[in-house]
Structure 1
Amino acid sequence: MTVQELIELLAAYPPELRVVVNGYEDGFDDVAQERISITRIELDRGEHWWEGRHASPRSEAGTGAQVVDALVLRRESK
């Protein structure tokens, strides 16, 4: 998803609607505005079901690895 796609998707919802992300194991957390950042990620690197689909780039990432910048929305920490 791109920022433009996200903007278009969010435009369909009421502007006062709360935005949350999934919690660490269960439930939901608020998005931590101060923890939104642009981060380099390697696409389709997750190998196990408990990992995210994408991951931080490996230093030994081969020429076939696709590394991109991504806007990361992190949850609030407790």
Structure 2
Amino acid sequence: MPTIKTNEGPVWRKRTPLKQWLVWAGWLIGLCIAVYAWQLISEKTIWMFVFDAPSQMADIGKRMAPPDWSYMSKLWR
């Protein structure tokens, strides 16, 4: 159990200072990788399709329910 000595006495810490810096550095490296990946994905994304997706999904949902049962005979052939 790591403790740090202060003027008021020993204080318990979850991690040693070195481990805390390593955890912080790991999160920073992970964030940098995520930002880099986002940049690579963003430059190849056609954003018009992304922004239009909710309306397309709503349109598909409207046409899907209620089903038109007259087409079932054509589907089973």
TM-score by length of 1: 0.23
Higher relative contact order, structure no. (Cα contacts within 8 Å, ≥ 6 residues apart): 1
**Which has the greater radius of gyration?**
2
Structure with bigger strand share is 1
What is the TM-score of this pair, normalised by structure 2? Answer: 0.23
Q: Please identify which structure carries the higher helix content.
A: 2
